[in-house]
Structures are given as C-alpha cells and as structure tokens.
C-alpha cells in the first residue's frame, strides 16, 4: 500500500518558549548560484536543508560544480563548468532554478534552461527576465520548450523592469557581475534577498552599487574569488512563527532575526493587538495573550507585508473576532488555502481577489497544502483549532520550513509527521489536490 505523509496537529493551546530562526531559503537559493561565477571555492554557511535548496544544489552539480556539506555549511567549487543546461527534471521542481541562467551566462556565455513548470498559485511567468536579458544584448530563443540564451559580447545596457521582480533582479545581478560590461537596473526589487546576493558578490570582488534600492549599477569585473558567507535570517519563517504565536494566543521569543526586515509585519501584528517587545538586538518577544482585533492586510513588495505571509496572516485572522480583509498585490490569486481553511470552519469569502474573513473558532479537519505558504497557513490554523488537523501535501512544507514539526513541538505544539495510507484520488481528495496536482512553486 502506498503511503502519504501528513502533519498531524492537535490544537494544543498557546505556543510558548524560544525559537531560533534559520537562514533564509529564498536567499540561500541564489547565493549558492553565485558559486558558478568563480573558479575558487565558495562556502555558504548555515544553509537550511530544504528540498528547494537540494534541487538548487543538484542543478549546480549538473553543471559541474562540486558540492559538499560540512555540517550546516555548503562548500561549492566551480573549478570548471561542464554543462550549461538545467534540465526539465530539475527546473520543473522549482521555478527559482530559472535564475541559474544568469550565472551560466556570466561564467560560460550560454545557458539552456527548461521552461519552469506549472504554478501552484496563478500565473508566474518569466517574461521580465527574458526582456531584461534582451536589453543587455543577450540573444534568447525558444527551442522546443527550452530557453536558450547566448551572450555575444559584454552585457551592457539599462534594464527597466515594468514592475519589480525578485528573481529577475537576481538573474541580472548574476549575469552582469562577471564580465566587461556596465549594467543598470531601474525598478529593481527591494527585497533583502537582493542586497544579500549583492553583498556576497561584492565580497567575491564584484562592483555592485545600490542593491536594496530601486536603482542598481553593476560594473562587471574580470574575475571573482572565493569567500565564506552567511545568508540573512529567514524573514518568512520568522513571520510564520509570529503568526503561529498570535493565532494560538501564545508568547514566543524569536531569536536570530533581522528586526529591520520585519517592520511591516510587526506593525500589522501590533495593530491587531499583539505585543512585540525587543529583548535583544536580534530577538523579539511576541506576546499575543491580550485582546486581539481584526485588521486588514494587503501583501505588497518589500518593505510591505510579504506575499509569502499573506496566507499565514489569513489563517491567523480567521481566529480573530471581527471582519478582516486580505488582498495580495504581488500574487493576486494566491488563495489555494482558502477552501482548506473553510473545511476547518473558517468563515471566509473570496470575491474578485479580495478575501473577507469573519474570525471565530476553528475546528480540526483533513486539509491539503497546495503550496509552501498555504502549508504554513494550514499549520498555523491547525495549532489554533479545536481537535485534530491533518495537513496533507507535506512535500510543499518541506520546501521551505526546516524541521517544522520538531520546532513547533519545542514551543509546546502537538505537531507530528505521520504516514497515512493513500486513498484513490476519486474518493476523498480535497478540491485543490485535483486542481493543482504536480506543480512547481518556490
Ligand atoms: N512576474 C512576471 N513576469 C516575470 C517575473 C515575475 O509577471 O518575468 C510577476 C509574478 O507573476 C508576480 C510578480 O511579478 O506577480 C513578482 O514575482 P517575482 O519575480 O518577484 O517572484 P519570484 O522571484 O518568482 C520570489 C520568491 C517567492 C516570493 C516572490 C515575491 C524565491 C525563490 N521565491 O519569487 O517565494 O513569493 O519572490 O516576493 O525567492 C516562497 O518562498 O514560497 C515563494 C514563492
């Protein structure tokens, strides 16, 4: 009999205690790609062992990079590049792998990357990446579902993003840091993961100015050297723990955070009545034992509330009496969690990309996580619900939350990974499973 994994959560009252936030998955994924730009070893420290990171490392190995773990650190050595392609088998597992295009272009002058796979939450195209490369003189063609990119000279020019894109900005940084061109990026994404990549590249000898602002200038250099680097803490993981604390009316101290990356999240939770106190330079106590009120949340680009926390915010607000409104301006259709939360008794209505939440008690149910952050949301709801919740689709959660069950349990939650016998999909699969099976996110 085939089995499927689930998170079994027994709503066990308020979370309490301390939790250490790990390194940012969405930074580590790009930092490891920077290793392709040097023939010297690059060590990225404290890398979370998540399935998305493992896919990224597999892509690097496919291109010829030597990859070795030393405890939590990853040693990467791209002495020579053997293969300039990223196969569909890997790209289809994770969209972010498209950003290896920039690194391969820089190091080898060419790249063949499969079209990223389907999407778990609405359209997620790569048109802005392609236009950016074209603006720098890269020739990009489509060959039977593969994008083939070739550089014929230095990458020089001005990229003007019609709207910011995190992956697109990372792709351009990687493509232009090594080489003789001068590239400018207008309307660059502001997310802290951009500045983190620029900082690593600059430590390797690159000349990148303005990362973290809308205007970035890259002076290509001849050579980049090896270095050691530690990624920024994961602001989305931190936010998910904050929302779990809030939804369970708990009192949790987060350690190892970058408070400046979480300003909007703090403001919104404070508006909802959660008390957030600085207990150290890198630690916050999140105390949700007081009275809470409904708030409206709109996810926008950094420095606003991140889209990656929109679903966990919705789960929290489902527990808060009153009416809240949730919108997502980055991924306006990122609402696969709603039907699942409704199975847990959440009173939510989604019309025209606007989610109206009438908070109240939740009850445990069997639900399915169609994407990573939907999984985060369902776990938050499960811990706040009466009774037992089983979150299926744990593979989605494994993409971005390291040792999630274990760490939540250390805060007093009752969360365990269990193996359940598979049922035929026609019998009792939740709707979202039928709609989005076999998809790539991240
Ligand atoms: N977009 C386009 N065309 C493009 C690129 C983007 O239309 O060529 C649109 C997207 O569809 C979206 C918006 O632009 O509506 C922003 O997308 P962006 O490119 O910024 O997102 P991304 O780089 O694909 C990263 C994170 C996501 C996070 C978004 C937004 C990684 C690996 N992924 O994706 O994280 O939601 O930025 O902050 O860094 C997650 O961790 O669960 C996750 C999905």
163 CA closest ligand 1 atom index = 14
CA distances from 88 to 51, 92, 95, 175, 324 (A): 16, 5, 11, 21, 41
Q: Which pLDDT value is given to residue 432?
A: 38
Domains in the chain (CATH in brackets) are: 3-22+233-441 (3.65.10.10), 25-229 (3.65.10.10)
**Percentage of the chain with pLDDT > 90?**
88
First vs last C-alpha separation in the chain: 30
DSSP symbol at 187: S
Q: Which pLDDT value is given to residue 429?
A: 44
Q: Which pLDDT value is given to residue 425?
A: 52
pLDDT of 426 > 60? The answer is: no
Which residue's CA lies nearest to atom 23 of ligand 1?
167
29-38, 264-273, 428-437: least confidently modelled range? 428-437
User: Is pTM, for the whole model, over 0.85?
Assistant: yes
pLDDT of 256 > 80? The answer is: yes
Cα separation, 389 vs 416, in Å, equals: 11
Q: Name the pLDDT band for 1 (thresholds 50, 70, 90).
A: confident
Q: Which pLDDT value is given to residue 7?
A: 97
Closest CA to 60 of 80, 36, 94, 44: 36
Q: Which pLDDT value is given to residue 348?
A: 98
29 CA closest ligand 1 atom index = 32
Q: Which pLDDT value is given to residue 341?
A: 98
Q: Which pLDDT value is given to residue 145?
A: 83
pLDDT of 437 > 70? The answer is: no
Does the annotation count 119 as an active-site position?
yes
* pLDDT tens-digit map of 121-150: 566 689 999 999 999 999 999 898 899 999
Cα separation, 368 vs 381, in Å, equals: 12
DSSP symbol at 279: E
pLDDT of 403 > 70? The answer is: yes
Q: Name the pLDDT band for 117 (thresholds 50, 70, 90).
A: low
pLDDT of 428 > 80? The answer is: no
Across the chain, how many H-helices and E-strands are there? 16, 24
**Residue 276 · residue 286 · CB < 8 Å:** yes
Q: Measuring from each residue's beta carbon to the nearest atom of ligand 1, which residues come in under 6 Å?
A: 26, 29, 95-96, 123-129, 163, 165-168, 189, 191, 306-308, 330-331, 372-373, 400, 441-442
pLDDT of 430 > 60? The answer is: no
* pLDDT tens-digit map of 283-299: 999 999 999 999 999 99
**Percentage of the chain with pLDDT > 70?**
94
Strand ranges for 338-383 from DSSP E? 347-351, 354-359, 366-368
Question: How many Cβ atoms sit within 10 Å of the Cβ of residue 114?
Answer: 19
28-42, 258-272, 419-433: least confidently modelled range? 419-433
pLDDT of 234 > 90? The answer is: yes
* pLDDT tens-digit map of 235-253: 999 999 999 999 999 999 9
């Amino acid at each position: 009999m085939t089995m499927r994994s689930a998170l079994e959560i027994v709503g066990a009252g308020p979370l309490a205690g301390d939790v250490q936030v790990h390194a940012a998955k969405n930074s580590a994924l790009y930092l490891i790609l920077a290793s392709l730009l040097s023939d010297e070893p690059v060590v990225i420290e404290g890398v979370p062992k998540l399935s998305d990171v493992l896919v990224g490392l597999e892509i690097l190995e496919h291109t010829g990079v030597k990859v070795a773990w030393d405890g939590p650190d990853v040693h990467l050595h791209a002495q020579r590049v053997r293969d300039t392609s990223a196969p569909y088998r890997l790209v289809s597992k994770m969209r972010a792998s498209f950003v290896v295009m920039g690194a391969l272009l820089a190091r080898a002058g060419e790249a063949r990357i499969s079209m990223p796979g389907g999407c778990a939450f609405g359209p997620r195209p790569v048109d802005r990446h392609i236009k950016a490369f074209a603006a720098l003189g890269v020739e990009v063609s489509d060959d039977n579902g593969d994008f083939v990119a070739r550089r014929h000279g230095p990458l020089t020019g001005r990229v003007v993003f019609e709207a910011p894109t995190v992956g697109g900005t990372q792709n351009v940084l990687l493509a232009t840091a090594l080489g003789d061109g001068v590239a400018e990026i207008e309307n660059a994404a502001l997310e802290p993961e951009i500045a983190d990549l620029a900082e690593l590249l600059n430590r390797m000898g690159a000349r990148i100015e303005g990362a973290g602002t809308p205007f970035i200038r890259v002076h290509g250099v001849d050579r980049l050297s090896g270095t050691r680097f530690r990624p920024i803490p994961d602001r989305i993981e931190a936010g998910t723990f904050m929302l779990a604390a809030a939804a369970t009316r708990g009192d949790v101290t987060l350690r190892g955070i970058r408070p400046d990356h979480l300003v909007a999240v703090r403001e919104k939770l404070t508006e909802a009545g959660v008390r957030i106190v600085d207990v150290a330079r890198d630690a916050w106590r999140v105390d949700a034992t007081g009275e809470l009120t409904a708030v409206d949340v709109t996810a926008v680009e950094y420095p606003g509330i991140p889209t990656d926390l929109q679903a966990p915010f919705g789960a929290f607000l489902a527990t808060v009496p009153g009416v809240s409104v949730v919108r997502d301006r980055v991924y306006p259709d990122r609402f696969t969690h709603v039907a699942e939360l409704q199975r847990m008794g959440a009173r939510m209505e989604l019309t025209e990309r606007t989610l109206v939440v009438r908070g109240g008690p939740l009850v445990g149910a069997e639900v399915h996580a169609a994407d990573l952050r939907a999984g985060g949301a369902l776990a938050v709801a499960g811990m706040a619900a009466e009774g037992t919740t089983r979150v299926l689709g744990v593979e989605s959660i494994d993409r971005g939350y390291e040792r999630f069950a274990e760490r939540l349990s250390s805060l007093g939650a009752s969360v365990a990974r269990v193996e359940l016998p598979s049922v035929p999909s026609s019998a009792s699969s939740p709707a979202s499973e039928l709609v989005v099976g076999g998809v790539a996110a991240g």
